[in-house]
Chains A and B, each alone.
Chain A
Amino acid sequence: MECVFGLVGEGFAVVAADTSAVHSILVHKSNEDKIMVLDSHKLIAASGEPGDRVQFTEYIQKNVALYQFRNGIPLTTAAAANFTRGELATALRKNPYSVNILLAGYDKETGPALYYIDYIATLHKVDKGAFGYGSYFSLSTMDRHYHSRMSVEEAIDLVDKCIVEIRSRLVVAPPNFVIKIVDKDGAREYAWRETVKDSIASSA
């Protein structure tokens, strides 16, 4: 029931992910951040097997950092995406990672980009993408309202429309979402959309 989706706008890319950590019928926590800051100008939104998700994305993050120290310049978004896909592909026929990834990044030369990388090492450069059961709703909503070069306000409005759609139509819809954005000023958290606050102490 994990929902991850994202889109590219004018000079930025935005990704949103649900924040539930679930094991069978138990919700461990509702504020699990599944969007990792890969480097100053890249975000990885990942869904799938929790152990694999953390293990794989951290591995990619450290290798991207190593490249930067070795070569004095950061990897481009395309290079990072291809490296990520390559690692998934190599592991695929031995012990595959069950992780789906949306990689969003901003390069000074080429602007914002979004890459769809699924668990069997598919790589697509896309304007909008989504994973999970939520994708049935978010992709359709994005298809209806998306146009190229949207502003941040329009894009966040579309993200909120998708979240509303998921909340109302998915049977076990995740209560909370985190939205992160990457543009020329870097990758950062944009907002949370919460219906359930995790800490009980606040109501006591």
Chain B
Amino acid sequence: MARYDRAITVFSPDGHLFQVEYALEAVRKGNAAVGVRGTDTIVLGVEKKSTAKLQDSRSVRKIVNLDDHIALACAGLKADARVLVNRARIECQSHRLTVEDPVTVEYITRYIAGLQQKYTQSGGVRPFGLSTLIIGFDPYSGAPSLYQTDPSGTFSAWKANATGRNSNSIREFLEKNYKETSGQETVKLAIRALLEVVESGGKNIEVAVMTKEQGLRQLEEAEIDAIVAEIDAEKAAAEAAKKAPSKET
């Protein structure tokens, strides 16, 4: 038993925690995930690698709810995600039991980030290999929030963010194209961002939309296909508009 109490995550001479950085590498290899915060709607989108023919795709849900008003998507080691999500769900109920109030998005984010940090400073354990995107509405103010955590245990709030594969490209796209949106516009922005790096089509992305009244709603493949078609049409129209004026001049 004594052999399992030595820390695995230790400082390198130049101040790096290599295990944490390697965990971030694992995240970079994971599926792309994007989150966009609108004024009344928050959207999570996750890349869905093509499912094997014999696999039941309904059993592989990548966007999960932690409570009635909080949802989570992640990139990285999915098995680690299962453990973290389970702990977060317990904490959501435990908080309701002890203080008779639902958690705020910041509280549960801080809890998850705290858990991830603990595993970078304990003996015999490795860090969680995932970054999470947490969305929800504040139970009192009704304000929408989007937070991100990573294997080091840091967290911060975002208007829009991406993690996982090609997250830099997605984030660049979001920085260029983000504006305050609501309702369906927010959904479209999230899907447009995800389509930057993912093959077009409803069967390659999983999208969930959270509103204050209805909570989390997973979009059907047909719905996603319809929105993708809309986006493609808008893109084609924009292309045509660009070409037309130059013809006139």
Contacts and interface: CB of A to CB of B under 8 A. Distances in A.
A152 interface: no
B90 interface: yes
Interface string B51-82: 00000000001000111000000000000000
Nearest to B70: A69
Interface in A70-128: 70, 72
B89 to A, nearest CB: 5
B67 A62 contact: no
Contacts, number: 21
Given A66-B90, A69-B89, A70-B89, A58 B66 contact: no
Interface string A43-84: 000000000000000110011011001101000000000000
Contact of B97 (A62, A69, A70, A72): A62
Interface residues of B, number: 12
B96 A70 contact: no
A28 B97 CA distance: 24
Contacts of A63: 93
A63 B92 CA distance: 11
B94 interface: yes
A58 B66 CA distance: 19
Q: Secondary structure of the A side of the interface?
A: helix
Contacts of B67: 69
Nearest to B64: A69
A62 B89 contact: no
A6 B89 CA distance: 33
A66 B94 CA distance: 9
Nearest to B86: A70
A72 B64 CA distance: 10
A71 to B, nearest CB: 11
B148 to A, nearest CB: 22
A65 B69 CA distance: 13
Contact of B66 (A59, A62, A69, A72): A69
Interface string B86-124: 100110111011000000000000000000000000000
Contacts of A65: 93, 96
Given A59-B97, A62-B96, A70-B86, 8 more contacts: A58-B97, A66-B89, A66-B90, A69-B65, A69-B66, A69-B89, A69-B93, A70-B89
5 contacts: A62-B94, A63-B93, A65-B96, A69-B67, A70-B86
